Structure formats: C-alpha cells, structure tokens
Structure 1
Amino acid sequence: MSREHKGFTKAISDILPGFIVSLLVALISMFLAKFVPNLGAASIAIFLGMFVGNVFLNQDIFQKGYKFSETDLLSYSIVLLGATLSISTISDIGFSGILFIILQMSITLIGVIYIGNKLGFSKNFSYLMASGNAVCGSSAIAATAPVIDADDREKGIAVTIVNVTGIVLMFLLPLLTQLLYKHNITQTSGMIGGILQSVGQVVASGAMVSEHVKDMSMIFKIVRIIFLVVVVFALGHLKHKSNKEILEEEVDDIERGKIKVPWYVIGFFITCALFSLHIISPQVSLLAKNISNKLEIIALAAIGLRVNIRDLIQQGKAATIYAVSVGTLQIISAIILIALLIR
C-alpha cells in the first residue's frame, strides 16, 4: 500500500466517526421536523446536536468528523446554493445593501479595537477580535494572525470568544428581528448576514426564520467575506504602519494570493452565473437545492455537536464583558444602518 493511499485511508477513518454521528443527528432531525414543521429540521439539528455533543459524544475521536461536517459540507452546500440563485436575486440587496455591509464592517472594526484597548487587551488580540467579528469568524482570525504576528494563544482565545459571541447571537437575532421587523426578508437578512461571525451561524440563524431569509442572509454574508482581503491588509497596515518593509511584504502576499477569498465564495458565484445564463437547467437547480439543504442540515448538526457549553460558562469576566460589548455594538449599529439604508 502506497504512502498516499495510507494517508487517504487514515484521513477517512479519522473523519468517519464524527461524520456518522452528524449524519444520524441530521436524519433524526429531518424525521422529527415532520411532526413539528414550525420548528424545522435546521433548528432541531442544532439543539439535538448540542444535547448529544455535550452529554454523550464529545470525545476526541469524533472531533475531526464534526469539523469536516461543519466546514467542508457547508462549503459544498454554499456552492450548490449558487445554482439556485440568479444574478438578479443577488442584486436585490442593491447598492444600499452593499453600503450597509461596508459601514457595518467599518464600525465593527473600529469599535472592537477601541473596546479592546479600553479593556486593556493587547493590540494583537483586539485586531484578531476585530477581523473575526467584522468578517467571518475563525477563518478571518486565521488569515489575520500571521500578518500581525499574533501567537497561537492569542489566536485560540480570540477564536473561542468570537465563536461564543456568534452562538449567542445566532439564537438571539431571529427573536430580535421578529420584534423589530416582523421578519421582513431584506431587513432580517441584513441583520443576520451583517452581524453573525461564521457562515454556519448565518445559515443556522437564517434557517430558524425561513428559507428565503437564510438564502438572502448568505448573500449579505458573502459580500462581507469578499472584503476579507481588504480587512487583513488594513489591520496589517495599522499594526506595521511604521515599518515599510513589512508593509511591502503584505502587499506582495496579497498580490501572490496568499491572502485570498475562500474557494466556496468563488464557487458560489460560478454556479450562480451558470444558473443565470440558463446553462444549469431548472431540474438540475432543483436537485442542487435539495442536496444543498441536506448537506446544510448535516453541517448544522455538526455545529451543535461542536458547541461546548463549558466554554460558554468558563469565559473570564473581562472576556465576557468584551464579547457582550461587541455584540451590543454590532446590534445597535445594524439597527441604525438598516433604518437608514434598507427598506
């Protein structure tokens, strides 16, 4: 057996236990959703996953499979989602929607850094928190860390706090948008897609409201992700503004594609373009939507399985204040901007 074959076999065996659990939770959720359709398979998958993961199956053997199910399957789901949306649908958010995202991200970046400084956190940590909350959670933190020379400890704590904040907001925003907007599709989608930290949280929170909100929330989120390169460069510039050589290295990294937009965003736009040009037929689009929905529910089950309730409880006082302050800032700024820009 070749080394490559052995490596592939080991990778599959590492992923399989967690994937099987995620799949089973998703299948049970889809079955239960037939009896409680108002709750929906997506919401059931998250809650059931949280219960199973924290009470029974949180051992290390399952973690790689949970991560694969959450990240990889959700990425495939997003690419397939593009095959169900036309360019005209994406344009529904319009210039005002894009302006909302730019302003919301800018306020988040500036506000998170300011709050971090006031609470006495290091500059690196504040920058990681800023990128994670402004763009796309753990992925943005991972892209920013090497540019600002953050260490693994700073990165790990930032990822934990950003994810904890996102989990709380994931459940809070559907309730808040019901109160504020009676779940108006565009305004609700702007709130969810413009605030939540990770792609999975956006999908989960949007799915708690409706299929249309979930899809449009993803469009708002994808616009944020496209600005990842800009955010990483801006934070690198702030950190190294007195060092011309390091700045030149950052520009070189961006030009060489070392800091890049995630592949699934590119895939989303490709399948969206193919559907808009009628290269993807309505029948294929319907199949893509069905597969995308199933992958999404498996991914949401994995998100629930990976939520560690102890992490939510064990955050230190300063970190909790930071997280609450950031979440409050994002909600208030989004409410104001939506009132001004999105109807």
Structure 2
Amino acid sequence: MVSTIKDRTPGFAVALVVAIVSQFLTLVIPDVGAATISIILGIILGNTFVKQAVLSAGTKFAEKRLLEYSVMLLGLTITFQTIIQLHWSGLLFIVIQMSVTIVAAIMIGKWLQFDDGIYLSMAGGNAVCGSSAIASIKPVINASDEDAGMAITLVNLMGTVLMLLLPILGTVVFGSSDMHRGALIGGTVQSVGQVIASATMVNQSTVEFATLFKIMRIIMLVVIVMVFARIHQHNVSEKQTVEEVEADVKKHKIDFLPWYVLWFLIFCIANSFVHLPSLVGTTAHFLSSWCEIIALAAIGLRLNLQAFLKAGKRFAIYSLGVGTIQVVVALVLIKLLIH
C-alpha cells in the first residue's frame, strides 16, 4: 500500500499542479475554462518537459479514478424534477438531439475507419457530457487509454469552439430569446463547465435555461452506458465464433453499469426525493469539478501528441463533422419544437 502511494505521488502531484495553474489562468482567459486549459497545458508539458517514466503510475491513477469520482459526485448536483421544467417539447428536443449526435458520430467514425473504442467514446462525449461521459463509457466498451484520451481531447477542443461560437450564433438566429439560446447551448456544448461559461457570455437567464437542458442530457447518462455496452457486445460477438462468445461470457462478465455510474444514479435519486442541505450539492459540485480538471491534466500529460497528429486529418474531419451536425440539427429542432 505504501509502495503504491509512493509510486503514484509524483505523477499525481504534477497533474494537481497543472490543474491549479489552469484555475489561475482562467483569471486571465476566463472564456476558455479550466478544464480546456488543463488538458491543453498537460499536452504541451507531457510532450516536452514532463515525459519522465516515474510519472506514469500517478497520471494513470488520476486519469482513471478522478474521472470516475467526478461522475459519481455529479449525481448529487442534479434532480429528476428537471424533466418537468423542460416540458414535453424540451425533453423531445434533447432525446432527438442526442440520438442524432450518437448516430452521426458512429456512422462518421465507421466511415473514417476508427474502431468502436474511438467512435463510441466520441458519440457519448458529444451527446452527453464530455469527459465524464467518456469515463463512464470506457470500461463497458473496453476502450484503450489511448482511444479514450484522444476522444476526450477532441471532445474538449470541439466543446471550446462551440462554447465561443454558440452565444453569437444563438443571438443571430434567435434574437433575444433566452430560452432558445439556452436550449442551443445546453443541448449542444459538451461539458458542464463549457455550457455554463458559454451561457454566461449571454446573460443569467440563458445560464438557467442552458443548465436545465444540460442536466437533462446528464440524466440520460445511465441509459447511454447500458446501450453502448450492448453495442460493443454485439460488435465483439460478430467477430467471434459461438464457442468464443460463450467462453468470453464465462470468463469476463460484462459490467453494464460501472460502480460510479450506479452511485451517480443513487445520488441523483436521493437528491430528487430527499431534501439534502444546499451545502451537499455545492460541495459535490466543487469536488466533481476539481476531480475532472485534475484528471484532464493527467490525460493531457499522458497523450502522445505525435500519434495524435499522425492521424490529425481524420480526427479533424471527424470532430468538425460531428460538431457541425450537432449544431445544425439543434437549430432545426429548436425552431420546430420549442416555442
């Protein structure tokens, strides 16, 4: 136990320092957000000055465990009562928007010949809540650390682009309608932090609407994890004989609901039906945000930039393609459904 902690300390400490520096940098560039700064700063340092092998154990621990804790704690910040506030049209908008995003990410990913570790991570990250969704999906689809890391990087970079673009686009298309602008931002932008930052560029009313739509997407996380587990199982089964499938089921029972997604659901239910002190939600949000930022720093530190750039053209086409479809579909659906 002592040896394990000793091995993990250097890498974890570096990720923590990167996260703290990222938080301070938001004072200079507040529109970008600590999560995005953290992963970009991690990538720069991890591919230049901070490449020591001694850091590997700590950064791997931070990448895996802290994202899991972030997902779990997120359950204490949301309630199912949110669905009622969106009405049927808002709920229908979110369901269709997420479905189209997932289908588009899978189809484009297959067309570009990515394996399911990449395209399912991209689908979940873009449709639900960025890094947290990918962390939840990763174990049930057996995605490699490299695939998940690349997907998280792409999702965060596209989220930054949309975060800056959508307040302008929403105002051009919908004028001064805060609900419509909130639906566009909350139904499209990837991470929770990016949604809040983007809506803040408009006004507080837009922040409230954007948050409601975003929470609705997060509530769907449990369903997405279970569906993606089934998709991955089907993909694997197609490549195996009947005997191999039976042997694989006996040896490796697929975990359709990782422990932290289960706790996310339990916390969400508790928060929905039990009046918890406001301090609980505030503390959970604070800890969840810090877990995510430190984990993103670790992901950046571990990302092999050369391998990423080698596939750069395909990744750029993929990210831009999915992002464009998300925005266009959201604009059409908001016009049709939300009045």
TM-score calculated relative to the size of structure 2: 0.70
Distance 1:245 1:298 in 2: 43
Residue 295 in structure 1 maps to residue 291 in structure 2: yes
Correspondences of 1:25-104 after superposition (within 5 Å): 25-34=18-27, 41-89=34-82, 91-93=84-86, 95-104=88-97
Match of 1:144 in 2: 141
Aligned letter for 2:295?
A: A
- Of 124, 142, 163, which aligns to 1:174? 163
Partner secondary structure for residue 280 of structure 1: coil
SS for the counterpart of 2:47 is helix
Label 1:174 to 1:229 Cα distance change in 2 as closer, same or farther (>3 A). same
What secondary structure is seen at the aligned counterpart in 2 of 1:83? helix
For residue 260 of structure 1, report the CA deviation from its aligned partner: 1.5
For the Cα contact (< 8 Å) 2:150–2:303, is it kept in 1? no
Q: Is 1:223 aligned to residue 220 of structure 2?
A: yes
Unaligned runs of 5+ in 2: 125-132, 172-177, 201-206
- In structure 2, relative to structure 1, the CA distance for the partners of 1:296 and 1:185 (3 Å cut) is farther
Q: Which residue of 2 aligns with 1:5?
A: none
For 2:41 and 2:110, locate their aligned partners in 1 and report how far apart those are by CA, in whole Å. 38
Residue 174 of structure 1: how far off its partner (Å): 0.5
- Give 1:286's aligned residue: 282
Deviates further, 234-243 or 330-339: 234-243
Question: Would you say the 8 A contact 1:42–1:207 is kept in 2?
Answer: no
Contact kept? 2:140, 2:254, Cα under 8 Å: no
Give 1:198's aligned residue.
none
CA pair 323-96 structure 1, distance change in 2 beyond 3 A: same
Gaps spanning 5+ residues in structure 1: where?
A: 1-7, 146-151, 194-201
Whole-angstrom CA distance in 2 between matches of 1:130 and 1:207: 26
User: In structure 1, what is the equivalent of residue 310 of structure 2?
Assistant: 314
* Structure 1 position 188, deviation (Å): 0.8
Is the CA contact (8 Å cut-off) linking 2:121 and 2:137 kept in structure 1?
Answer: yes
Counterpart residue number, 1:16: 9
- Listed one character per residue, the Cα deviations across residues 114-172 of structure 1 (whole Å, up to 9, x for unaligned) are 445655x3xxx554444222224475365335xxxxxx9xx677546534532431221
Maintained 8 Å contact 1:133/1:162: yes
Report the equivalent of 2:175: none
Aligned residues of 1:25 and 1:298 also touching (Cα < 8 A): yes
Once the 2 structures are TM-superposed, how far is the Cα of residue 249 of structure 1 from its aligned partner? 5.9
CA RMSD of aligned residues (A): 4.2
CA contact (8 A) 2:89 2:337 kept: yes
Per-residue Cα deviation, 1:252-275 (whole angstroms, up to 9, x for no partner) = 89xx97232333333233233333
User: What amino acid is aligned across from residue 80 of structure 1 in structure 2?
Assistant: L
Say if 1:60 and 1:234 are closer, same or farther in 2 by CA, change over 3 A. same
Query: Which letter does structure 1 place at the counterpart of 2:68?
Result: S
CA contact (8 A) 2:66 2:295 kept: yes
AA in 2 matched with 1:27: I
Q: Distance in 2 between matches of 1:191 and 1:106?
A: 12
Alpha-carbon distance between aligned partners in 2 of 1:283 and 1:138, rounded to the nearest angstrom = 26
- After alignment, is 171-180 or 203-212 more displaced? 203-212
In 2, distance between residues paired with 1:67 and 1:218?
A: 29
Alignment partner of 1:262 is 2:255? no
Query: Do 2:19 and 2:38's aligned partners in 1 also have CA atoms closer than 8 Å?
Result: yes
What is the number of residues matched between the two proteins?
A: 314
- Give the SS at the match of 2:187: helix
- Kindly indicate whether the alpha-carbon contact (under 8 Å) linking 1:83 and 1:275 is maintained by their aligned counterparts in 2: yes
Distance 2:312 2:30 in 1: 39
Question: Superposed, which structure 2 residues align to 1:224-263 within 5 Å?
Answer: 224-234=221-231, 236-237=233-234, 258-263=254-259
Instruction: Report deviation, 1:315.
Output: 0.9
Separation in 1, partners of 2:228, 2:118: 12
Map of 1:199 onto structure 2 = none
Q: Counterpart of 2:329 in 1: which secondary structure?
A: helix
TM-score (norm 1): 0.69
2:131 is the counterpart of 1:133:
no
Whichever residue aligns with residue 288 of structure 2, its letter is S
Cα distance change on mapping 1:339 and 1:16 into 2, 3 Å: farther
CA contact (8 A) 1:17 1:65 kept: yes
What CA distance in whole angstroms lies between the structure 1 residues aligned with 2:225 and 2:195? 22
Separation of aligned partners in 2, 1:60 and 1:214: 41
Deviates more, 1:209-218 or 1:52-61: 209-218
Letter in 2 for 1:206: V
